[in-house]
């Protein structure tokens, strides 16, 4: 079963303001589901999204 977190938990996890999360939802940068009028996010999907956004840094020694 998926671990669902609410918008406050996601904002804490990403160290962002709630408004940023709402903006990203509106801009379709992230996806979530609304359950009973409350946004919920699959923690695993968020982690996968973060990994896909990661940029590799060149090793200056190579």
DSSP state of 1: -
Amino acid 59: pLDDT: 62
Amino acid 52: pLDDT: 87
Amino acid 20: pLDDT: 97
Show me where the domains of the chain are located: 4-53
Query: What's the pTM?
Result: 0.80
Amino acid 40: pLDDT: 96
Nearest to 8 by CA among 32, 61, 17: 17
pLDDT, tens only, 30-61: 999 998 999 999 999 999 999 888 776 666 66
Amino acid 39: pLDDT: 95
């Amino acid at each position: 079963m998926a671990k669902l977190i609410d918008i406050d938990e996601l904002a804490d996890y990403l160290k962002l303001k709630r408004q940023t999360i709402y903006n990203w939802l509106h801009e379709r940068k992230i996806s979530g589901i609304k359950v009973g009028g409350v946004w919920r996010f699959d923690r695993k999907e968020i982690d996968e999204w973060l990994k896909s956004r990661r940029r590799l840094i060149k090793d200056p020694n190579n």
